[in-house]
Amino acid sequence: MAITSHQNITGTTDALQGPSVADFWQLLKPRVMSLVIFTGFAGMFLAPADMHPLLFGISLFAIAAGAGASGAIN
């Protein structure tokens, strides 16, 4: 005699849902990224030459983009 069991699966799982912003943010590794941005900020702030504020902001954004990209690749 064979025993069979039937289960109805009606719920959705997390694997079937698409990626969210939180997933993308976690992929960028924000803890490591914040350390890289802080180091870049401190280095530019302590540099002997003055830097235009716009160039300072663009440089920090580029550092953040590079840190995020390297975190996503890793």
Using H for helix, E for strand and C for coil, what is the string for 8-68?
A: CCCCCCHHHCCCCHHHHHHHCCHHHHHHHHHHHHHHHHHCCCCCCHHHHHHHHHHHHHHHH
pTM metric for this prediction: 0.68
The pLDDT averaged over each successive group of 10 residues in the chain (74 residues) is 65 71 86 94 93 95 94 86
- pLDDT of 55: 95
Q: What is the pLDDT of residue 24?
A: 84
Instruction: Of 70, 67, 73, give the one whose Cα is nearest residue 37.
Output: 67
pLDDT at 48: 92
Which pLDDT belongs to residue 10? 61
